[in-house]
Every structure is written in C-alpha cells, then in structure tokens.
Amino acid sequence: MPPTETAVDWSRLWSDPSMLRLRRDRRSFFTVAWSVFAVAFCALVGFAAFAPEIIATRPVPGLSVGLILSLAYVATVMSLGAWYVRRARHWDILAAAVLSVPAIREREVAGNV
C-alpha cells in the first residue's frame, strides 16, 4: 500500500486540468460504447425473447436471422473491445500528464526510496 501520509493533495489532483481532460475523454468514450453495447444486447435479447419465429426465418438457406444477429453481436463485442484498447492508448498519455504534476512526482520519488 503506497503511503498516503505524504502531502499529495489528491482532491486538487482530481480536478487538475490534466485530470479533467482524461475524465472527459473517458466519459465521451464510455457514453458511446455503452450505448452501442446496449443496442446490440437489447436487439439480440429482444428478438430472442419476443420474436422466436422471426429468429428462425432463413433469408438464405442455412443462415437464419438469429444466426446473423448472433454473429453481429459477437462482432460488436469484439469491435468495442478493440476500440477501447485503441482509445486507451490516448488515456495513457493523458494519465502520464497527470502523473507529471509536480506534487505527485515528488511523492513518487520519495516513495521509491
């Protein structure tokens, strides 16, 4: 457990401009990402729960609406994951900016001794 008694003003750091940039960027990502996930989840659950007959129809022999929805769901989940990883690289840079705020850097040096 890192020492908390050293004088880092975490509350000030939490509202530091560099931290605010990180928080804003994360919020904008998660708003979109959660919405996309909610739509995908509700679409698959909704059809499966309330429209089993539509699920079973086959526009192409062997390929039913349910299978198409299922594959689309898997693709959505994987894309959201990949998008998160890409976006998070940007957060690493923003987080590094937060960590270079003088107060915390001094503490890190002191803590590592």
Partner 1 sequence: MSDGFNTTAVVVTILLLATTFVATYFASRRTKTSAEFWTAGGGMTGRKNGTAIAGDFLSSASLLGYAGLAYLYGMDGIVYAIFACGIFLMVMFLIAEKLRNLGRFTFADALATRLRSGPVRIVSAISTLFICVFYLLAQMVAGGVLMEALAGIDFSWGVVIAAVLMLTYVLFGGMLATTWLQIIKAVALMSVVALLVILVLIRIDPNPLNIIEQAVSQSKFGDHYLATGNSFKGPWNIISMAVAVTLSAVGLPHVLMRFFTVPDAIEARKSAIWAISLIGGFNVLIAFLGISARAALGAGGEEIAGKGGNLALPALTVWLGGGDGFASDLLLALVVAVSIATLLAVSAGLVLSASSTIAHDLWAKTFHRPETEEMTVGRIAAVALVIVTVGVTLAIGGTQNVTFLATLATSTAASANFPVLIMTLLWRRMRTLGAVVGALSGLLTALVWPSLAPLLSDSLTTTAPFPLAFPILLSVPAGFLGCIVGSFLSREPANDAAFDELQVRALTGAGLDKTKTLAH
How many Å apart are CA 86 and CA 100, to the nearest integer? 23
Q: Is residue 14 a contact residue for partner 1 (CB under 8 A)?
A: yes
How many Å apart are CA 73 and CA 39, to the nearest integer? 10
Position among 35, 38, 84, 110 found at the interface with partner 1 (CB under 8 A): 84
Binding mask 21-60 vs partner 1 (x if CB under 8 A, - otherwise)?
-xx--x---x--xx--x---x--xx--xxx-xx-xx-x-x
Say if CB 55 and CB 66 are below 8 A apart: yes
Give the containing element (helix H, strand E) for 25: helix 17-50
How many Å apart are CA 3 and CA 69, to the nearest integer? 50
Q: Under the rule (CB under 8 A), what is the footprint of partner 1?
A: 1-2, 4, 8, 10-11, 13-14, 19, 22-23, 26, 30, 33-34, 37, 41, 44-45, 48-50, 52-53, 55-56, 58, 60-64, 66-67, 70-71, 73-74, 77-78, 80-82, 84-85, 88, 91-92, 95, 98-99, 104, 108, 111-112
